[in-house]
Amino acid sequence: MPGSRSSNDQEHKSPRESGEDSEDESEILEESPCGRWLKRREEVEQRDVPGIDCAYLAMDTEEGVEVVWNEVQFSERKNFKAQEDKIRAVFENLTRLEHPNIVKFHKYWTDTHDDKPRVIFITEYMSSGSLKQFLKRTKRNVKRLPLSAWKRWCTQILSALSYLHSCQPAIVHANLTCDTIFIQHNGLVKIGSVAPDAIHQHVKTCREKMKSMHFLAPEYGTSVTTPSMDIYSFGICALEMAALEIQGNGDSGSLVTEEHINRTIEALEDPSQRDFIRRCLKTDPKERPGARELL
């Protein structure tokens, strides 16, 4: 998955120590079967992506750029074998995705040599960090994001969702938060961590992280994932972008409640912005507009 490098408290280390760590982190741990991608020791921050057990920085030896080496580990070989055809179909679809606002999914392969099989996939590396990180930095200087910037970001995210939802069959992101949206220095926004929904229940990683529970639609867990669930998650992202944060937004481990969300919406000055977000957050999924309609 995309993301920023894990900070290992480099600021507390001497240059000599940092240099040694840097050497260790650049050590090659593994090579892809085709020899193109080289997995390094340096880990990439996870951002609570369901299913992805670990992610490392890697080198694309053909293009000469850094990429992310993601690993999904299955608890047992029989779990993998039972789902292998479905998993391969899902990953094949992901490699075909081409959209300027979606983090590129390059390649995948399987490793079934051990008792716990792995699926490994390579994605684009977004070095400038997540939208969540950007909002935190912005909040130090301003109280609200300019409406024009908010609209540009929403348009780019909705364009990506519209593309995913129009695929046959529709691809549901299922993990849209400000941590899985990335912003480049030129203002280009990309959604990453398009988590293959088919593997969620077959891997060991737990999804229910308190700090991101409020991004999940009310119907999550009671039915199959649908595009309308992504619209709800987008509505929470749009609110967080507009207000720069939602009070009690889970960073301290506290759960964001419906009251926190409503209070943050009411504090927005622009009535059309409030209405737009409320439409996305309708409790009944049938009442939520589609991504194309919102564009």
Phi then psi dihedrals of residue 136, to 5 deg = -65, -40
Please report the pLDDT score of residue 66 as a whole number. Answer: 95
Please report the pLDDT score of residue 153 as a whole number. Answer: 98
Phi then psi dihedrals of residue 148, to 5 deg = -65, -40
At residue 13 the predicted structure's pLDDT band, cuts being 50, 70 and 90, is very low
Phi then psi dihedrals of residue 20, to 5 deg = -65, -40
HSE-CB for 186 with a 13 A CA cutoff: 4
User: Would you say residue 219 has pLDDT above 50?
Assistant: yes
State the chain's mean pLDDT as an integer: 84
pLDDT single digits (tens) 86-142: 888 888 888 999 999 999 999 999 998 888 888 899 999 988 889 999 999 999 998
d(CA 231, CA 290): 7
pLDDT single digits (tens) 222-273: 878 899 999 999 999 999 999 999 876 545 556 888 999 999 999 999 999 9
How large is the angle between the packed helices 271-280 and 147-165, nearest 10 degrees?
Answer: 20
d(CA 235, CA 237): 5
At residue 6 the predicted structure's pLDDT band, cuts being 50, 70 and 90, is low
Residues whose CB falls within 8 Å of the CB of residue 197, separated by 6 or more in sequence, listed in order: 90, 172, 174, 225
Residue with tokens 């849209």: 176
User: Would you say residue 36 has pLDDT above 60?
Assistant: yes
Q: Is the peptide bond prior to 169 cis by the omega test (within 30 degrees of 0)?
A: yes
Q: Can you spell out the DSSP letters for 185-215?
A: TTS-EEE-----GGGGGGBS-----GGGGGG
277 contacts 239 by C-beta, under 8 angstroms: yes
pLDDT single digits (tens) 51-69: 677 889 999 999 999 999 9
Taking residue 153's Cβ as centre, other Cβ atoms within 10 Å add up to: 22
pLDDT single digits (tens) 194-211: 765 555 544 444 444 556
Mean pLDDT of 32-46: 90
- The structure's pTM equals 0.82
Mean pLDDT of 28-49: 86
Tokens of 205: 């990683």
194 contacts 94 by C-beta, under 8 angstroms: yes
At residue 48 the predicted structure's pLDDT band, cuts being 50, 70 and 90, is low
Residue with tokens 């999940």: 216
Q: Pick the residue with more confidence: 14 or 213?
A: 213
Of the candidate ranges 5-9, 53-57, 158-162, 245-249, the one whose mean pLDDT is the lowest: 5-9
User: Would you say residue 192 has pLDDT above 50?
Assistant: yes
Q: Where do runs of H (alpha helix) occur along the chain? A: 15-25, 77-95, 131-139, 147-165, 227-243, 258-266, 271-280, 291-294
Q: Pick the residue with more confidence: 58 or 46?
A: 58
Please report the pLDDT score of residue 162 as a whole number. Answer: 98
What structural domains does the chain harbor? 10-124 (3.30.200.20), 131-294 (1.10.510.10)
Please give the biggest Cα pair distance in the chain. Answer: 59
HSE-CB for 214 with a 13 A CA cutoff: 25
Please report the pLDDT score of residue 19 as a whole number. Answer: 47
